[in-house]
Amino acid sequence: MNGKNRIKIGTRGSKLALWQANWVISAIKARYPHFSLELVIIKTKGDKILDVPLAKAGGKGLFVKEIEQALLDCSIDLAVHSMKDMPAEIPEGLCIGAIPERENPKDALISKKGLLFSGLEQKSRIGTSSLRRAAQIL
């Protein structure tokens, strides 16, 4: 911790990341009300790539490398990520310290005719920029 009872929490600036980080802050404050918690927003390579599909941008951890580096150089004390953004391998010196109880894990399918996933034809095309989601669909 950077000072007595002070915790810097790093996260991305997306709506989802901010919601998740603020949820974690609320949980910590509920248990440790005397802690001072600071949210540090970190822009990642994945946040900066707007003109190329992320799967084609190359590299692993497009949404976590800068945050991992902030942890390693002690700019932040902990990070909040979506597990979907986490690479399979975590850098030496870091670990997954906690995983909160999971909320509803389902994504949404939006179709022109209101079809359910189970009602799609075998050759239907589904668009996603997430390799993990694409693998789950198969």
What digits encode the pLDDT tens for the residues 11-21?
A: 999 999 999 99
Question: At residue 29, what are phi and psi to the nearest 5 degrees?
Answer: -60, -35
Q: Catalytic positions, please?
A: 85
pLDDT (mean) for 8-30:
96
Classify residue 121: in a domain, yes or no: no
Classify residue 128: in a domain, yes or no: no
What digits encode the pLDDT tens for the residues 61-79?
A: 788 899 999 999 999 999 9
Classify residue 114: in a domain, yes or no: no
Classify residue 138: in a domain, yes or no: no
Classify residue 90: in a domain, yes or no: yes
Classify residue 48: in a domain, yes or no: yes
**For the whole model, what pTM was predicted?**
0.74
**What's the confidence (pLDDT) of residue 27?**
95
Classify residue 98: in a domain, yes or no: yes
Please give the sequence-ordered ranges of beta strands (E in DSSP) within the chain, or none if there are none: 6-11, 36-41, 78-79
Overall domain count for the chain: 1
Range of the domain at 95: 6-106
**What's the confidence (pLDDT) of residue 57?**
64
Classify residue 65: in a domain, yes or no: yes
CATH number at residue 58: 3.40.190.10
Q: How far is CA 107 from CA 13, 32, 52, 80, in A?
A: 21, 33, 23, 20
